[in-house]
Structure formats: C-alpha cells, structure tokens
Chains A and B, each alone.
Chain A
Amino acid sequence: MHKIMAKGDAIVVSELTKKYCGQVALNAVSFSIEKGSVVGLIGPNGAGKSSILKILAGIIAGTSGDVIINGCSVAENVMQAKRYVSFMPENNPLPDHLRVGEYLRFRAELKGVSTKKIRQSTEKVMRQCDLYYEARYRMIKTLSKGYRQRVGIADAMLGNSEIVILDEPTIGLDPHQIIGVRKIIDANKGTRTILLSSHILSELETVCDNFIIINRGRIVVTGSLDQLSNNVQGKNMFCAKIGGDEQTIRKNFQGVQIIEFKRSLCNEEYVIKFEAADEAYRLLLLKISSNRELFVKKIGYVECSLEEIFLNSTRRCRDQDNADDL
C-alpha cells in the first residue's frame, strides 16, 4: 500500500524493501518526514539505518517500494531526486589528494552551484564549520578525524539542497565540535529538512523534533519524544515522593496502577511510580493534597529519556521476533 504524499512532506517512504543477496536489510519500511523538521534515525548496528539513508540519497536502489523526495520518485527519476538531497555518508570518505577548499569547490561544481556563486557558497560553509581560517588550504590527508567530519558536514551543507542527510555526523568529534554541529543544525532548522543518524542519543534528543526507531529492518516506532514516551510506556507515567503511613498512602493510591512502591533511604517517605490516565491523576492529586496525614514532597510526570525509549522498543521488538520464531 503506497502512502500518499501530504503537502508538507519532504520525504515519503512507502513499503521500502532492500535485499542484499537474498538477505533482507529493510522489510517494507514506511514513514514520512515533514518539510523543515529535524528527524533522528535510531537503531542498533545492522538495523538498516545506512541502507535507508543511502536509498534516500539515491546511491543505492531499493529492491521494492518507493521513496518520494519533494514529490519526485527516486526510483523513476533518481537524478532529479539527488538534486534535492545532500548526503554525508558514515565514516565520511574523502579524497586525500585534495585541499579542503579544492574539494568543496569540486563538490559545489558537481552539485550544480553556478560558477559565480561557488566561491561564496564554499566560503560560507567553511566559515560555518570553522574550516575557513584553519583548514582551507590544508590537504585532506593531513586532517584530524574532527576536521574530516567538519569537511563532510560542510559538504552536506553546500548548495541549495532542501534535504540534508547526515549519517553519524558527530562521531569522533569533541564536545566543542559537537556543539558546533548542533549550532549548524539549529541554524538550518525550518529551512531545510535534516535527517540524522547517530548512536549518541542524548545528542539526538537535543536537536531532533521527531524520531524514527528501526530494528532488524523494520520501523519499530516513529514520532516526537512525547509520542514515543507514551507509546513505550503505554500510559502516562508519574512519580511521587510522599511522607506518611504506608497503609494510608496505599489506600489513597487505589484506582491507579502502581509500578513501584519503595521506602526511601531516609525511611521517612515513600517513592511511588505509577501509571494513570489524566483524569485519574487529577483525582489522585485532589485526594492526597487534602489528606492531612500525608506530606507530598514531590509529584509529577516522568518523561522517558530517548535511551529508555530506544532500549524498551528494540527489546520489545526482539522479544516479539523471538516469540514469532518459537
């Protein structure tokens, strides 16, 4: 079943399958990405992330299914689709015999940047990526890992492509450089659609609006952090720190699903993790705040971190697969 491209979609992937020598790398993957959004693609090693990114960039072809980039089908018109996309591959392979400036000029020419604007465009991205003063005339083979990554990012940002795909852009970068990459992504937010793949989940959590979690060639879950959090947890998860008698607390918490109930280290209060619908939570709040025997130190919504979501969802997917195998 093909997904229909909505007006605001930059990328629509429908039932995309990729097989390498009969081995399924992607199994009927479908998702869409809104224009101007920053999306993180997450998955364990061998999940099929790089295959998706390479297919989106038009480097390799899918076995079946379709990818539509800005209304243009990659399978039908790969050259046109490539004009919309800039891609920085994993490990960022660069030709060692060129200088940074020469390489970016060469890439600009290939990307179809007009001759008059080549100098201006290359200088702009070199300044953005802190290459202009320190590395412009340096041979690529003499660059450190961090500088090489920056050259790759500068290349991806070069030209007028509306979609930028970065495969592990922050690998090998120090914290300052990671912040630099984050700034570049933030600067392009809204104007360009950015699809990132990374294993540094905290980094993705900071820069991405939406996430796609993939495992064993299948999409496990997609959405914003809140949506993913709800999806993984099922209901809203809350945590409370309450002082008072255990029996009284338990009595008040009737009607909500307690996940964890433990005495805190100082033994004067209890830490309770519980799941509840919005209405149930509101009633509970009223009940415990009016109860004079209880002392509510802290209560609130617990946000799942991306790491927890990732671990939970991929574990769930693995368990499901194992159950299917049995």
Chain B
Amino acid sequence: MKKFYTLLKYEIYRLMVSPATYVVASIFTLSIGGIFIFLMHDYIKFAQDIPLVQMFCRCFWLPTCMVVPLLSMRSFSEEYKGETFQNLFSVPVTYMEVVLAKFFATYGMFIFLWLCSLSIFLAVEAKSEPIVRELAFASPFNMGGGLLFIAITGLLFVAIGIFASSLTENQIVSCMMTFFILLALFIGGQFFANRSQITNLNLSGTYQESLNIFSQLDNFCNGVFDTRIVVFYLSTCVLMLCFSTLVVQKKLN
C-alpha cells in the first residue's frame, strides 16, 4: 500500500507540473463557463420545467469528452515512448499498483476540475436574487445528485482513457480512441434507447436505462439513487482497469 501512495504521489506531481494539465484545465473552465452562460441566457428567455443546475449537469458530456482523453492520454503512452517503464518495473511494484496510481491521479484531477465548476454556482447563489436562486437550484439534490452522477460515471470514463492509453505509445491515437469511445457511449446509448422506443424493440426497461446516460442523470438529479447504476459503472471501471493491467503486462513481455 505504501508503494501505491508513492506512485500516486508521483503521478499527481507529474500531472501538476505538466503544462498540458493547465491547458486542459483552461479548456475545461472555458467550456463550463460557455455552457453556463448559454444555459443562463436560454433560461431567462424561455420558461423551463427543470432547474438550471440539472440542465447544466445534462451538458456534462461535452467537457467530459474533451477533458478525459486529454488527461489520460499521457498516462501510459508517455511511459512506453520514453521507456521509463523499465525503470518503474525494476522495483518491487505490481502492474495493478501502477495502473491504479495512474487511474486515481487522473480521476482525482477530473473530480477536482468538476468541483472547481461549483464556483460558478456559488457565485450565482451569492449574487443573484432569491427567486433566481430558487429557480436555478430548486433543491440541494439537483446539484449534489448531478455531481455524484458525474463522479460515478467518471470512474468508467477515466478507466476507458487509461485503457486506451495502455494500448498505444502514440498520445494522439490514445486521445482520439478515448474521445470516440466516450462519444459512442453518450450518443450511442441515447440513440439505441430512443430507437428501441420508436421501433418497439423488445428491450427491458432496465436495459434501456442502462444505455441512456441522460435518463440516469435525471434520476440522480431528482434524488433517486439507483445502486444498480453505481454497481454497473463501478464493475465496468474495474473491468477496464483489469484489461489495462493485462495490456501493460503483455506489452512489457
């Protein structure tokens, strides 16, 4: 466990000193800010039946699709390219420890960025009229539930990024691979769920729900905490990390 903390510390430090991380953070902040201004503008103009915070959370796919590939692409690709793996595995550390350290460092950064986005809402809450506040936040579940959902789904998304990075030594390839897999998860899930409704495909409700990330998000924002969703994302995350471990092991041998 001590070695895991050492590796985690090293990975966090690697992210913190890399200029690329600050570029990613800037992209994230700009996209979050842009989304918020756009939604706020829309919210004032037209009456909406859901609170602003929930609408905001529904747009989480866009910053996620941009940030996760950029944060995770360097994890293994850089190590393969620089051959620093030889040094890393010459000491008594396991493949799993290395994969987990990289995963948690990237995931930590992902969560940190989302927590920073809270500042926008804190500013609105501090400066706006009570009626706007009421409309924007509705209930604490909206904000908390939305962020909890992002944190849970983030486990899988970051694990996918780590897996893609373990496959190639080319960072661009890793980034594109993660981006398209995430896009396929967001759009593909929505597409299949809608299609099954239109064409009356015999899909059970649970299956439809597991495909549609946005309906899961709505449930969380409305305070419905579905443990099946948590288990689903957690187990797929573990599966991706196990695959990453196997790939790294295979690549080294």
Contact = CB atoms under 8 A, between A and B. Distances in A.
Interface of A: 54, 57-61, 79-80, 82-83, 85-87, 89, 91, 93-98, 106-107, 109-112, 155
Contacts of B14: 95, 97
B116 interface: no
A82 B83 contact: no
B120 interface: no
Contacts of A57: 90
B130 interface: no
Interface stretch (B91-99, B136-144, B224-232): B91-99
A93 B87 contact: yes
Interface of B: 2-3, 6-7, 10, 13-14, 17-18, 82-84, 86-87, 89-94, 252-253
The secondary structure that dominates the B interface is helix
B92 A89 contact: no
A110 B11 CA distance: 13
Given A89-B83, A91-B83, A97-B18, A112 B92 contact: yes
A95 B6 CA distance: 15
Nearest to A18: B253
Nearest to A50: B86
A110 B8 CA distance: 12
A61 B92 contact: no
B82 A93 contact: yes
Given A97-B17, A110-B3, A86 B10 contact: no
B93 A93 contact: no
Nearest to B5: A109
A60 B253 contact: yes
Nearest to B252: A60
Pick the 10 closest A-B CB pairs, nearest first. Answer: A87-B90, A93-B83, A89-B86, A82-B92, A110-B91, A109-B6, A93-B84, A79-B92, A57-B90, A59-B89
Given A79-B94, A83-B92, A95-B14, A110 B86 contact: no
A308 B246 CA distance: 45
B92 A155 contact: no
Given A59-B86, A111-B91, 6 more contacts: A58-B90, A82-B91, A83-B92, A89-B87, A97-B14, A110-B92
Contacts of A54: 86
Nearest to A85: B90
Contacts of A94: 84, 87
Nearest to A84: B92
A79 B3 CA distance: 12
B99 to A, nearest CB: 16
A17 to B, nearest CB: 14
A302 B63 CA distance: 75
A83 B90 CA distance: 9
Contacts of B10: 106
Contacts of A59: 86, 89-90, 252
A82 B14 CA distance: 25
A109 B3 CA distance: 7
A58 B94 CA distance: 11
A79 B18 CA distance: 31
B89 A93 contact: no
26 contacts: A54-B86, A58-B89, A58-B90, A59-B86, A79-B92, A79-B94, A82-B91, A83-B92, A86-B90, A89-B83, A89-B86, A89-B90, A93-B86, A94-B87, A95-B82, A95-B84, A97-B14, A97-B18, A98-B13, A106-B6, A107-B87, A109-B2, A109-B3, A110-B3, A112-B3, A112-B92
B252 A110 contact: no
B37 to A, nearest CB: 35
A91 B7 CA distance: 23
A95 to B, nearest CB: 6
Contacts of B91: 82, 107, 110-111
A87 B89 CA distance: 10
A85 B87 CA distance: 12
A155 to B, nearest CB: 7
B19 to A, nearest CB: 10
Nearest to B6: A109
B14 to A, nearest CB: 6
Contacts of B86: 54, 59, 87, 89, 93
Contacts of A87: 86, 90
A106 to B, nearest CB: 6
Nearest to A115: B2
Nearest to B94: A79
Contacts of A155: 87
B248 to A, nearest CB: 12
Contacts of A95: 14, 82, 84
B28 to A, nearest CB: 21
Nearest to A20: B253
A85 B90 CA distance: 8
A83 to B, nearest CB: 5
Contacts of B84: 93-95
B1 to A, nearest CB: 12
A91 B83 CA distance: 9
A26 to B, nearest CB: 13
A256 B89 CA distance: 56
Contacts of B89: 58-59
